[in-house]
């Protein structure tokens, strides 16, 4: 496939929100992954979203998310606008309802990165264009799709794989466990006591795994979780908004560092993933993140391709 090969947009996604991967079937997620693979091989599709505009609302700092969405829209022929709450009326108390209705008159889609998932749901309920969740306190669907795209590239197939997340039961862990369950992979989540995933989200994950006939495990033992793992994943111990807990979290997460010793319990050909930014010497050692098993930069690049697939699927066609 050449860089300029014309690619067809998959049907059935147009006009839909992407708030959580729980709203999508395993077959639909497989379609998005295959679409992302095609777009990676032929990245420049200027006719796909020609004349389309994406509004990007950022309440939090961003490197990968902002750059990948902006570049993605450009490569698809569209345009992205950076919208800071400090520069919008929403930052001065304008109701979400009014913001959603007004932005829908100008834009073809809205991407939002914020703290409250409830806020994103409210925005989507009033917006008349697709809303894409680029990170909330509960979910990070864009990251999860890029993660599994990376796994598929490196492993060739997702069938029979075991994915282990070691660390905080946070938004990244939630979405990773969801997509693993949806696509029929076994998954394990190792967290310190007191840092378990959201109870309601975990029940949803267990329900999906039961339906798919796969196994999801929640444990307080990293060694138990990484046994025979094909993929080991971690994240910072104190995500955005929790920086003041850094000292307490360092004590609580003692023994949860992804090191050569911990990884020795996984399969010999395991791959290591991290959503970045990373704190070497805390959640992961330099030997692992900078070693031969690490694919964190491929994973970061795949944010671009996965998000282009999302954008084209819900806006185009």
What are the tens digits of pLDDT across the range 140-152?
Answer: 999 999 999 999 9
**104 labelled ligand-binding:** no
Which pair of structure tokens corresponds to residue 148?
Answer: 């599994």
**257 labelled ligand-binding:** no
Both 247 and 275 in one domain: the answer is yes
Q: Please report the pLDDT score of residue 4 as a whole number.
A: 67
Whether 105 maps to a domain, the answer reads yes
Domain encompassing residue 254: 143-299
**pLDDT tens digits, residue range 172-195?**
999 999 999 999 999 999 999 999
**pLDDT tens digits, residue range 21-80?**
999 999 999 999 999 999 999 999 999 999 999 999 999 878 999 999 999 999 999 999
Which residues, including other chains, have CB under 8 Å from residue 196's CB and lie 6 or more apart? 169, 202, 218
**pLDDT tens digits, residue range 216-234?**
999 999 999 999 999 999 9
**30 labelled ligand-binding:** no
Both 197 and 234 in one domain: the answer is yes
Both 135 and 196 in one domain: the answer is no
**pLDDT tens digits, residue range 254-302?**
999 999 999 999 999 999 999 999 999 999 999 999 999 999 999 999 9
Cβ proximity of 161 and 181 under 8 Å: no
Query: What is the total count of domains within the chain?
Result: 2
Q: Please state the rounded mean pLDDT for residues 191-215.
A: 97
Both 283 and 153 in one domain: the answer is yes
Whether 17 maps to a domain, the answer reads no
Does residue 1 surpass a pLDDT of 70? no
Q: Please report the pLDDT score of residue 75 as a whole number.
A: 98
pTM, two decimal places: 0.96
**171 labelled ligand-binding:** yes
64: left (phi over 0), alpha (psi -120 to 50) or beta: alpha
Q: Please report the pLDDT score of residue 118 as a whole number.
A: 97
Q: Which residues of 226-250 are buried (b: 16+ CB within 10 A; e: fewer)?
A: beebbbbbbbbbbbeeeeeeeeebe
Q: Please report the pLDDT score of residue 86 as a whole number.
A: 79
Whether 89 maps to a domain, the answer reads yes
Cβ proximity of 289 and 272 under 8 Å: yes
Torsion of CA 153, 154, 160, 163, to 10 degrees: -100
For Cα atoms 36, 111, 44, give the angle at the middle one, nearest 5 degrees: 35
Does residue 239 surpass a pLDDT of 80? no
**75 labelled ligand-binding:** no
Both 185 and 274 in one domain: the answer is yes
Whether 2 maps to a domain, the answer reads no
Bond into 83 cis (ω within 30): no
**63 labelled ligand-binding:** yes
Whether 19 maps to a domain, the answer reads no
Both 66 and 212 in one domain: the answer is no
Q: Please report the pLDDT score of residue 42 as a whole number.
A: 97
Q: What is the mean pLDDT of the chain?
A: 95
Q: What sign does the CA torsion over 188, 194, 197, 203 have? A: positive
Q: Please report the pLDDT score of residue 90 as a whole number.
A: 75
Q: Please report the pLDDT score of residue 244 as a whole number.
A: 79
Confidence of residue 91 (pLDDT cuts 50, 70, 90): low
Q: Please report the pLDDT score of residue 34 as a whole number.
A: 98
**136 labelled ligand-binding:** no
CATH number assigned to the domain comprising residue 40: 3.40.50.1370
**64 labelled ligand-binding:** yes
**143 labelled ligand-binding:** yes
List residues with catalytic annotation: 113, 140, 143, 235, 275, 303
């Amino acid at each position: 496939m050449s860089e300029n090969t014309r690619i067809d947009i998959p049907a059935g996604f147009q006009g839909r929100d992407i708030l959580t991967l729980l709203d999508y079937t395993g077959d639909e997620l497989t379609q998005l992954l295959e679409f992302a693979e095609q777009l990676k091989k032929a990245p420049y599709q200027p006719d796909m979203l020609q004349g389309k505009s994406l509004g990007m609302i950022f309440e939090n700092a961003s490197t990968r998310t902002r750059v990948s969405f902006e570049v993605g829209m450009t490569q698809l022929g569209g345009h992205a606008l950076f919208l800071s709450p400090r520069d919008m009326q929403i930052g001065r108390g304008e109701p979400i309802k009014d913001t959603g209705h007004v932005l829908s008159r100008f834009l073809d889609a809205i991407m939002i990165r914020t703290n409250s998932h409830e806020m994103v749901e409210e925005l989507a309920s009033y917006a008349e264009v697709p809303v894409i969740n680029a990170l909330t306190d509960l979910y990070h669907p864009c990251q999860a799709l890029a993660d599994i795209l990376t796994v598929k590239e490196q492993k060739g197939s997702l069938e029979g794989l075991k994915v282990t997340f070691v660390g905080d039961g946070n938004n990244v862990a939630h979405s990773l466990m969801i997509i693993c369950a949806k696509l029929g992979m076994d998954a394990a989540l190792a967290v310190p006591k007191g840092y378990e995933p959201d109870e309601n989200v975990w029940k949803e994950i267990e329900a999906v795994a039961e339906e798919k006939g796969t196994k999801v495990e929640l444990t307080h033992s990293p060694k138990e979780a990484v046994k025979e793992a094909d993929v080991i994943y971690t994240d910072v111990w104190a995500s955005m908004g929790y920086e003041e807990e850094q000292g307490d979290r360092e004590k609580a997460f003692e023994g949860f560092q992804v090191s050569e010793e911990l990884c020795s319990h996984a399969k010999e050909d395991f791959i290591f993933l991290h959503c970045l930014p990373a704190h070497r010497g805390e959640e992961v050692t330099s030997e692992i993140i900078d070693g031969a098993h690490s694919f964190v930069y491929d994973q970061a690049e795949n944010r671009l391709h996965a998000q282009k697939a999302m954008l084209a699927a819900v806006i185009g066609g």
